Amino acid sequence: MGQMMRVPQALTAKVIAMAGLAMWLVASVAAESLFKSPAGLEIKISNPQGPFFGSDYKATIQLVNRGTQRVRVVAPGVGSLHGVRTPRLYWIVRRAGGTARELPAPTPGCGNIDPLRAKEVIELGSNQSVDVSRAGPLLTLKEPGEYRVRLRYVNDPKMKWTGVPLGEHDPEAMRKVQESTPCDIVSNEIAIVARASKATR
């Protein structure tokens, strides 16, 4: 888990990355917010990586509290992108000249998830942030082109986890998850240029 840090006054994260073809269809339109989020709670993405054909993008992900009240957040983990645990994560993708769409949750593979650990439930004071990139979601794109990408983070403290944990969840950490801050926030937008490899042209 990343170390908490003080947030600078101006934080910018607009990055252009080069990467290969990929596989997800852009499907349903982004849903309306499920929760009223605390003022000042933000998610920031930057530095998308994955410059090889057939590989996935993986971005740096930060949760930032610019508000005056403390919040309790939960780090994403295996299963967050598949919608089987909180927080749930969704990529929102817009092709150049097109409409923003929210990618559907991919079908879970084996159905296993990592057991929840105490360090994955984080208290953020005013003007604090935490890097939660370790188990952040991978992004794939259907075809080459220019894209604008955002990440949606939904923390539902009352959500029932349905993945099969590879070990026992920390009971105190799970109790804290159930008392964490409900929120539905969308990140800043980053630019990605996806290019096919020479072998596919």
What is the SS3 assignment for the chain?
A: CCCCEECCCCCCCCCEEEECCCCCCCCCCCCCCCCCCCCCEEEEEEEEECCCCCCCEEEEEEEEECCCCCEEEECCCCCCCCCCCCCEEEEEEEECCCCCEECCCCCCCCCEECCCCHHHEEEECCCEEEECCCCCCEECCCCCEEEEEEEEEEECCCCCCCCEECCCCCHHHHHHHHCCCCEEEECCCEEEEECCCHHHC
Between 200 and 69, whose confidence is greater? 69
- Average pLDDT over all residues of the chain: 79
Protein fold of 8-193? Immunoglobulin-like (2.60.40)
> What whole-number distance in Å separates Cα of residue 81 and Cα of residue 37?
20
Token look-up 């888990």 returns 1
- Give the model confidence (pLDDT) of 142-193 as tens digits: 777 888 899 999 999 999 999 888 899 999 999 999 999 999 999 999 988 8
User: Averaged over 40-61, what is the pLDDT?
Assistant: 75
Has this prediction a pTM greater than 0.95? no
User: Averaged over 118-144, what is the pLDDT?
Assistant: 88
What is the SS3 assignment for 55-97?
A: CCEEEEEEEEECCCCCEEEECCCCCCCCCCCCCEEEEEEEECC
CA dihedral sign, ordered 111, 112, 118, 120: negative
Decide if pLDDT at 30 tops 70. no
Task: Of 187, 41, 34, give the one whose Cα is nearest residue 123.
Answer: 41
* Contact by Cβ (8 Å): 17, 189: no
* Contact by Cβ (8 Å): 89, 80: yes
Q: How far is CA 156 from the centre of its chain?
A: 14
User: Averaged over 93-112, what is the pLDDT?
Assistant: 77
The domain locations on the chain are 8-193
Q: What percent of the chain has pLDDT over 90?
A: 44
